[in-house]
Amino acid sequence: MHFTYCPDCGTKTVLRRMGDDGDVPYCERCGKPLFDMFSTCVLSVLMNSRGEIALIKQSYGQQETYVGVAGYMKCGETAEEAALREISEEIGLKAERAQFLFSAWHAAKGQLMLCFCAETDCTDFTLSQEVREAVWFAPEDAAKAVRPGSIIERLVLTASGKKTTSKL
């Protein structure tokens, strides 16, 4: 989000040079810079004890290919807590040890994606209204089920121990 007006007092911002950050929207009334803001999201793949990867198809938005479990972070929770919460909410499984793998900028949505791999001993899904389908895939099949060149492809390949040459 780029600030044209101050969210506190409503005054129109002006651009002010802020050292190495360059020109930044600034509220002269409040005396503070208003740096651009963006949403932080978690994106996870879940692996079971057989080494399979859970992927979902959403009940809204893009439905052609499988994706990982994703969602927005809530104020006050860690990224790991958000990843485990989203897995529980969307596919009804209790996951353990959300391991951070990498971050990626999702330019189309203006979001920072924090990417995780989690583990579970459970295998039976209980889907939320947000999820149309959830499937356990062998790692090589999971990589083929997602959109080529996507952040989720990179996450599947990283989680399954394969190297990726994509620069996302």
Tens digits of pLDDT across the chain (168 residues): 899 999 999 999 999 999 999 999 999 999 999 998 889 999 999 999 999 999 999 988 777 899 999 999 999 999 999 999 999 999 999 998 899 999 999 998 899 999 999 999 988 999 999 999 999 999 999 999 999 999 999 999 999 985 444 444
Asked if residue 153 and residue 91 are part of one domain, the reply reads yes
Q: Are 71 and 61 in contact (CB under 8 A)?
A: no
In a domain, 168, yes or no: no
Residue 76 carries which DSSP code? T
> What gap in Å lies between CA 61 and CA 47, rounded to an integer?
24
Provide the whole-model pTM.
0.84
Asked if residue 49 and residue 105 are part of one domain, the reply reads yes
Q: How far is CA 51 from the centre of its chain?
A: 22
Asked if residue 110 and residue 58 are part of one domain, the reply reads yes
Instruction: List all residues 6 or more positions away from 6 whose beta carbon is below 8 Å from its beta carbon.
Output: 12, 13, 27, 29, 30, 34
Q: How many domains does the chain have?
A: 2
Asked if residue 153 and residue 122 are part of one domain, the reply reads yes
Terminal CA-CA length for the chain: 22
> What integer pLDDT is reported at residue 162 of this predicted model?
59
- Enumerate the β-bridge partners of residue 111: 39, 106
Instruction: List all residues 6 or more positions away from 121 whose beta carbon is below 8 Å from its beta carbon.
Output: 48, 49
Asked if residue 101 and residue 32 are part of one domain, the reply reads no
Asked if residue 121 and residue 93 are part of one domain, the reply reads yes
Asked if residue 82 and residue 1 are part of one domain, the reply reads no
Give the domain extent around 100.
Answer: 39-159
The token pair at 110 is 């203006």
> What integer pLDDT is reported at residue 146 of this predicted model?
96
- Enumerate the β-bridge partners of residue 119: 47, 96
In a domain, 122, yes or no: yes
Instruction: List all residues 6 or more positions away from 1 whose beta carbon is below 8 Å from its beta carbon.
Output: 36, 37, 38
In a domain, 164, yes or no: no
